[in-house]
Amino acid sequence: MKLAHVDLCGFRGFHKRLRIDFPDGFTIIDGRNGVGKSTIFDAVEFALTGTIAKYGDATAAGETIADYIWWIGEGKAPPDRYVEVGFRDGEDELVLRRTRLFDGEPSTLPAVLDRLCDAATMPKSPLSQLCAASIIRDEHIAALSLDLKETERYTLLRAAIGATDAEVWISRGSGLARVAERRTKTAENEVEAAAREVAAAARQIDEIRAGLVEESLALAAAARLNSFTGSMSPPDQVAEPARVAIAERSRQVEELIELEKAWQAAEGARDQTAQLRAALAAAQHAKSEADAALVAVTAERQLAVSADALTRQARDIAALVSLGRKLGLHDGHCPLCDSDLTEADFEDGLATAERLARELNELAVEQVAREQAREAAEAAEAAAQEDVDLRQRLLKG
């Protein structure tokens, strides 16, 4: 549907009747501030919803904003008070008309609502949400500025697009995510159990294969036994005992091989443990030395003033001395403090100030050295502690 016309009288700032017919294409309404451009959009919202959302529930002098929707200016009363908005849907045109004395909703409102909104998906107040999403006022733009809190901006935007049931869908999505997570965990446990069963079956197969002996070997052993004993028994009567004996010897050989591998691994672990213990002892010794160095540096006298502050003080005093020498005494008065001084006293004071500036500079240099030494000691102590922790983890692993 498209907006067909707006017809109003005695509404807001319009005393006389005004009718605007809108073409099928775009329409631009232009004018200076205060001529009533926004009132045209207020009329559309009022016809659809019976109120103007931008004023909310504001009250003044015991009156609500509804008392100010209609013309209340001075002079002669307007000829009528009404708002009429037409909507064009193909060849059909639906008209909504609200008057000051009309208490109910316009009879055409259900038909307009049915054509503007989808009954299956529309929110609780569809026409209000439609106006909020379609009629963008200056105050909406300001409300969406960076000064608005993130949660408030999200609430305003969600209300504008009609997502009033977002919490319900968020809750449903969270529930589905939790169910999926539990099912995924269960599936992972089942996969791990199946993998363990497959590994156990593979081990059993390997054990059975290791216990088997080729039939040719068993027959050859039986033939040799027959030749030694002179027995005329068929070879198959002695093949089974020979096969069993050979399998037992093969199993014993495999056990001996596994024991040899375990012994070699134990010897390697013993050597590695000894190396780790030696490395741990060296790291702990380095840590002790770093701790002692840090304690020694910390125990040195530390100044309450930083090196930068001492440097600034020295620079300021030197500048004052330079300024004093440049200005000199004026009628027996110091140019810096206005004290009565002789030429000799003035020179002594400047010399004392210069000496103080040099001392401050020297203290600043010493303070920088102390700070660098402390930082180096702290770094060495941290590195030593990290090395000790690493050696301990390796030894426990």
Q: What is the mean pLDDT of the chain?
A: 80
Q: Which domain holds residue 382?
A: 278-396
Contacts of 132 (CB under 8 A, 6+ apart): 53, 159, 160
Question: Per-residue pLDDT for 230 more than 60?
Answer: no
pLDDT tens digit string along 116-173?
888 888 888 888 888 877 887 776 666 666 566 777 777 766 666 656 566 677 778 8
Instruction: Please tell me the distance from the alpha carbon of residue 165 to that of residue 170, in angstroms, as a whole number.
Output: 9
Residue 43's nearest CA partner among 6, 15, 73, 10 is: 6
Q: Looking at the structure, tell me whether residues 101 and 198 fall in a common domain.
A: no
Tell me if 77 is assigned to some domain.
Answer: yes
Question: Per-residue pLDDT for 288 more than 60?
Answer: yes
291: domain CATH number?
Answer: 1.10.287
Q: Looking at the structure, tell me whether residues 188 and 96 fall in a common domain.
A: no
Q: Looking at the structure, tell me whether residues 102 and 195 fall in a common domain.
A: no
Tell me if 375 is assigned to some domain.
Answer: yes
Query: How many domains, the chain?
Result: 3
Q: Looking at the structure, tell me whether residues 283 and 388 fall in a common domain.
A: yes
Q: Looking at the structure, tell me whether residues 350 and 289 fall in a common domain.
A: yes
Tell me if 202 is assigned to some domain.
Answer: yes
Tokens of 83: 């708002």
Q: What φ, ψ does residue 98 adopt, rounded to 5°? A: -125, 135
Residue 381's nearest CA partner among 370, 393, 389 is: 389
Tell me if 249 is assigned to some domain.
Answer: no
Residue 207's nearest CA partner among 251, 244, 176 is: 251
Tell me if 182 is assigned to some domain.
Answer: yes
Tell me if 366 is assigned to some domain.
Answer: yes
- What one-letter code names the amino acid at 57? D
Tell me if 287 is assigned to some domain.
Answer: yes
* CB hemisphere CA count around 89 (13 angstroms): 12
What's the pLDDT at 278? 82
13: domain CATH number?
Answer: 3.40.50.300
Q: Looking at the structure, tell me whether residues 207 and 286 fall in a common domain.
A: no
Contacts of 294 (CB under 8 A, 6+ apart): 374, 377, 378, 380, 381
Q: Looking at the structure, tell me whether residues 284 and 391 fall in a common domain.
A: yes
Q: Looking at the structure, tell me whether residues 177 and 87 fall in a common domain.
A: no
Handedness of CA 338, 343, 349, 354 (dihedral sign): positive
Q: Looking at the structure, tell me whether residues 108 and 207 fall in a common domain.
A: no
Q: Mutual orientation of helices 343-396 and 307-327 as an angle, nearest 10°? A: 170
Instruction: Please tell me the distance from the alpha carbon of residue 172 to that of residue 78, in angstroms, as a whole number.
Output: 55
Instruction: Please tell me the distance from the alpha carbon of residue 289 to that of residue 227, in angstroms, as a whole number.
Output: 81
Q: Looking at the structure, tell me whether residues 296 and 354 fall in a common domain.
A: yes
User: Of 152, 176, 211, which residue sits at a domain end?
Assistant: 211
What's the pLDDT at 66? 67
pLDDT tens digit string along 12-23?
889 999 999 999
pLDDT tens digit string along 55-82?
765 555 556 666 778 888 888 989 899 9
Question: Are the CB atoms for 383 and 293 separated by under 8 Å?
Answer: no
Question: Per-residue pLDDT for 256 more than 90?
Answer: no
Tell me if 159 is assigned to some domain.
Answer: no
179 vs 265 pLDDT, higher one: 179
